[in-house]
Amino acid sequence: MPAFKTLDDLPADLTGQTALVRVDLNLPMQEGRASDVTRVEAVKPTILELADRGAKVLLLAHFGRPHGQRHSTMSTSVVQGDVERVLDREVMFISEVSGPVVQQSLAILRPGDIGLLDNVRFWPGEEANDPEFAKAIAANGDFYVNDAFSAAHRAHASTEGLAHLLPAYAGRAMEAELKALDAALGNPTRPVAAVVGGAKVSTKLDVLQNLVKQVQHLVIGGGMANTFLAARGVDVGKSLAEHDLAATANRIMDEAEHAGCTVHLPYDVVVAKEFAANPPSLRTANVHEVAAEEMILDIGPQAVEALGDVLKTCRTLVWNGPLGAFETPPFDAATVALAKTAAALTQDGSLTSVAGGGDTVAALAHAGVAQDFTYISTAGGAFLEWMEGRELPGVAALQR
Ligand code: ADP
Ligand code: MG
């Protein structure tokens, strides 16, 4: 794994130092309240460790998309209460990210106290990665900690620029994420299987292209499988499929063959004439027997069993995208069954399993296996860019 510094590289006693800590506090909101505080829980260990080691901790985060202007509804003060509740500590809200207001606040804060700076995206310098803006923030800190992997695919002042101006460290959540991702694709134990599902091939072309070079087994499910089946000449009826991508799908399958990667497409599927919960027209069919008025909405039980056997021969699994339209029963069946197999193999110690993606996280939680995978990444965009094999600017800056 590329070397980066962690909190272990800092002196044990941080009294007298100020930590600028980039966290993800972009909490999902419902009626003005945070509906989920997972992101705060994720950064809690880093914040409390730094505070308990005596640092003054300044939290730096974005919240919504204010596009370089102040909006009271997008102030980080909106989530101050949630942060305090999860940390079980008092947090001082500071209405700036740099300048005298921050300086004066630091004079009030004692060692071990926590301050929450306002939404860093209120200033255009953030997204422009303006070095002057980063310098102004850096002036109030002794070192920088990045604990927001989910924002690491952006080269912004608070995610990238600051790492060049102050001694930079990965926080505990960032460290765990990078270790898990390295175990899954950076330096994995072979054989490696990748499961890629979801609605559309077009959103994951780069992911597929990268994976065929890295993994020994590529499982394609979801609406994407329909595109691949159609490219092979299978009549997929009314299924969601991108027929214009047939040539691309065939090229990916050729590349896989050259690279020694086996592509697994389903040979049975679950179909219906209408997309609804438990529709009367529901049936399981061989892929070659889909009628013109039917839609493929999940992969079939035989395919799932065969994929379970593939996973039993693998040591590493990386998963993005559900195998079917899992929000609507019973089209969650394949995703749930394969997730349970992967979870059991992980618990037996024979498989390292890493998954990510917005809907994937929801699907695995629905399957009840969220705790049984080796690692589940909640970083949507950053996780996908990592699966595409891209270097993430926020991570690269920590590696210097
Ligand atoms: P993620 O957010 O994990 O990256 P995607 O957004 O790519 O996943 O895909 C998830 C969506 O794909 C889900 O809403 C699911 O209903 C849909 N989907 C999966 N299989 C099918 C299918 N056969 N037909 C239509 N939609 C599907
Ligand atoms: Mg999605």
Which pTM was predicted? 0.92
The pLDDT-based confidence of 380 (bands split at 50, 70, 90) is: confident
CA of 277 to the centre of ligand 1 (A): 16
Q: What is the mean pLDDT of residues 189-206?
A: 94
Are 7-172 and 188-387 the same fold in CATH? yes
153 token code pair: 């695919």
CA of 322 to the centre of ligand 2 (A): 9
CA of 275 to the centre of ligand 2 (A): 19
Q: Is 66 in the pocket of ligand 1 (CB under 6 A)?
A: no
Q: Is 365 in the pocket of ligand 1 (CB under 6 A)?
A: no
Atom of ligand 1 nearest to the CA of 327: 16
- Relative to the alpha carbon of 203, which ligand is closest? 1
Is 238 a residue of the active site? no
The pLDDT-based confidence of 228 (bands split at 50, 70, 90) is: very high
Whether the CB-CB separation of 226 and 270 falls below 8 Å is answered with no
Q: What is the mean pLDDT of residues 265-277?
A: 97
Q: What confidence tens digit (pLDDT) does each residue in 50-66 have?
A: 999 999 999 999 999 99
Whether the CB-CB separation of 356 and 379 falls below 8 Å is answered with yes
What are the angstrom distances between the C-alpha of 340 and each of 178, 215, 336, 368? 25, 21, 6, 8
Instruction: Count CA atoms within 13 Å of residue 364 on its CB side.
Output: 28
Q: Which residues are 285's β-sheet partners?
A: 269
Q: Which residues are 56's β-sheet partners?
A: 18
Q: What confidence tens digit (pLDDT) does each residue in 130-141 have?
A: 999 999 999 999
- Average pLDDT taken over every residue of the chain: 96
Using CA atoms, how far apart are residues 38 and 82, in angstroms rounded to an integer?
Answer: 11
Residue type, 21: V
Q: Is 199 in the pocket of ligand 1 (CB under 6 A)?
A: yes
CA dihedral angle for residue 242, residue 245, residue 250, residue 256, rounded to 10 degrees = -90
The reported pLDDT for the residue numbered 33 is 85
- From 275, 299, 359, give the residue whose CB has the most ligand 1 atoms within 8 Å, as the site to mutate: 359
Provide the b/e sequence for 22-35 (b: ≥16 CB within 10 Å): bbbbbbebeeeebe
Using CA atoms, how far apart are residues 76 and 21, in angstroms rounded to an integer?
Answer: 14
Q: Which of 112, 358, 380, 389 is catalytic?
A: 358
Q: Which residues are 143's β-sheet partners?
A: 19
Using CA atoms, how far apart are residues 354 and 192, in angstroms rounded to an integer?
Answer: 11
Q: What is the mean pLDDT of residues 64-82?
A: 96
Residue 2 pLDDT > 80, yes or no? no
Residue 101: how many other CB atoms lie within 10 Å: 14
Q: Is 269 in the pocket of ligand 1 (CB under 6 A)?
A: no
Q: What confidence tens digit (pLDDT) does each residue in 84-111 have?
A: 999 999 999 999 999 999 999 999 999 9
Atom of ligand 1 nearest to the CA of 357: 3
Residue 207 pLDDT > 70, yes or no? yes
Domain ranges within the chain, ordered by starting residue? 7-172, 188-387
Q: What confidence tens digit (pLDDT) does each residue in 340-360 have?
A: 999 999 999 999 999 999 999
Query: What backbone phi and psi angles, to 5 degrees, belong to 61?
Result: -155, 160
Q: Is 334 in the pocket of ligand 1 (CB under 6 A)?
A: no
The pLDDT-based confidence of 400 (bands split at 50, 70, 90) is: low
Is 200 a residue of the active site? yes
Using CA atoms, how far apart are residues 287 and 266, in angstroms rounded to an integer?
Answer: 7
Is 39 a residue of the active site? yes
What are the angstrom distances between the C-alpha of 100 and each of 23, 90, 96, 103, 114? 22, 22, 9, 5, 17
Q: Is 321 in the pocket of ligand 1 (CB under 6 A)?
A: yes
Using CA atoms, how far apart are residues 171 and 15, in angstroms rounded to an integer?
Answer: 18
- Relative to the alpha carbon of 334, which ligand is closest? 1
Q: Does domain 7-172 have CATH number 3.40.190.10?
A: no
Using CA atoms, how far apart are residues 208 and 255, in angstroms rounded to an integer?
Answer: 10
Q: Find, among 319, 313, 296, 310, the residue nearest to 375 by Cα.
A: 319
Q: Find, among 287, 342, 333, the residue nearest to 309 by Cα.
A: 342
CATH number for the domain whose boundaries are 188-387? 3.40.50.1260
Using CA atoms, how far apart are residues 135 and 174, in angstroms rounded to an integer?
Answer: 23
Q: What is the mean pLDDT of residues 38-50?
A: 97
